[in-house]
Structure 1
Amino acid sequence: MEVIWFVLFAVLLAGYFALEGFDLGVGLLLPLLGRTREGRDRMVAAMAPYVLANEVWLVAVAGTLFGVYPLLEGEVLFKLYPLVVAMLLSWILRDAGLWFRRRLDGFRWRGFWDAMIAFGSLGLSFGWGMAVYAAATGFTAPAVHPVGVMLGAVVTLLFAFHGWTFLAWRAPGVFGASRSGRALAVSGAVAAVPAVGVLVGAMPYLLANSAPAATLNVLSVMVLPFAPIVLGAQVWVWRTFRPGKDAVQLPSFF
């Protein structure tokens, strides 16, 4: 049972990197590719239908981490407390920017919230790289470590590339390039490499810190039956908002 839940946790974390990665990547690219208000509106509209569905993966990752590996909860929250707080604030700022940017029509208002989207996306991307390095060391390394900072930069660049590929797939030609669904899948797999690499290295550590078998059995009964529903909802979102749909022309976040 420990191995089954480890595989599920690995799938969830890799799925989060592959899916939420392009949302964060689009946010990172907002100041670079969105040089006009119309361009920024199009970028946000391109990722808008996917944001909430992708964030479900983060909730699932957190729930699995603290349910299957309860002994790690204290280590994550205590040893990585500043990093966790910074990532939570970045998440709030990014989502607040998406929701508030069109509540008023002033130039400064939109500019401020667009900056918050970019800043929050940077904080989350960089923070994930530092967090996965800390996990790979069994949380023995300090929250700010040179190797962790380097991995944070790598994850940020991978997410930015994934976001660029997503825009080229979702809105072909609008931002100067066109990419196929296969190219998007490849960039998603590449974006998930840091998460997969860390999990492979940390597998013995995670298995040794799994919850008791009785707890895992209860979690299996309570959680696993809902997995097909979540997966089906993801498939529905991607089929509904694939390229060519009118939703790509929406100039705002809904």
Structure 2
Amino acid sequence: MDITGSVALVTGSNRGIGRRFVTELLERGAAKVYATARRPELVDVPGVEVLPLDITDQASVDAVAERAGDVTLLVNNAGITSQSALLTDDLDDLRHELDTHVWGTLAMTRAFAPVIERNGGGGIVNVLSALSWFAYPGSGSYAIAKAAAWNMTNALRLELAPKGISMQGLHLGAADTDMMAGYEGPKVDPADVARASLDGVERDALEVVVDEWSAAAKAALAADPAAFYRQFTA
């Protein structure tokens, strides 16, 4: 897929990785970029069409799909994290993360698949995580949601292929965003995430693994988990 001349829609565009997707799409010559957010007044990138969107609200999703009927590339970036403990914290926090990362992402994909197909085909990017493949203390609810979104991405890829729509799963570790402000380890630049993903879109990559952390987490799946999880339980 050629980004130049495409019409893209990015969820969660007001900050972080979503904002970087928007700016990178414009720099690559996208004909139009819809920048969506629950608080659209916070989108500050010039040259885009701003739309309000809550991906957990079906009416909001439907309204955006009707408004943005020329989309050929969808970037499902919107996300949250509650850092909830599975055994003790409020289950509503876990449900909200699943509603966002799984059901919200699926709602967007279901709404825009026929749009993209009508427009001659295109692509969808699901922003996932290294936490699709492991968990550490305090990450339980987010890791569950991203793991579910990972295999949902795999399943959707099979259903979208006959429609001429590619599906990319994008994995990264910690990024230098507001969501990861309290994390003190190494962080990847959100601009590098957007560039790597869109490079993958242009070569029809099914999966893009941005950093070494994510690559190591994926590789660890083939080994005995005892060694990997010892670092968290020692």
Normalising by structure 2, report the TM-score: 0.35
Larger fraction in helix:
1
Larger radius of gyration: 1
Question: TM-score scaled to structure 1, two decimals?
Answer: 0.33
**Could you say which structure has the greater relative contact order, defined with CA pairs below 8 angstroms and 6 or more residues apart?**
1
Bigger strand share: 2
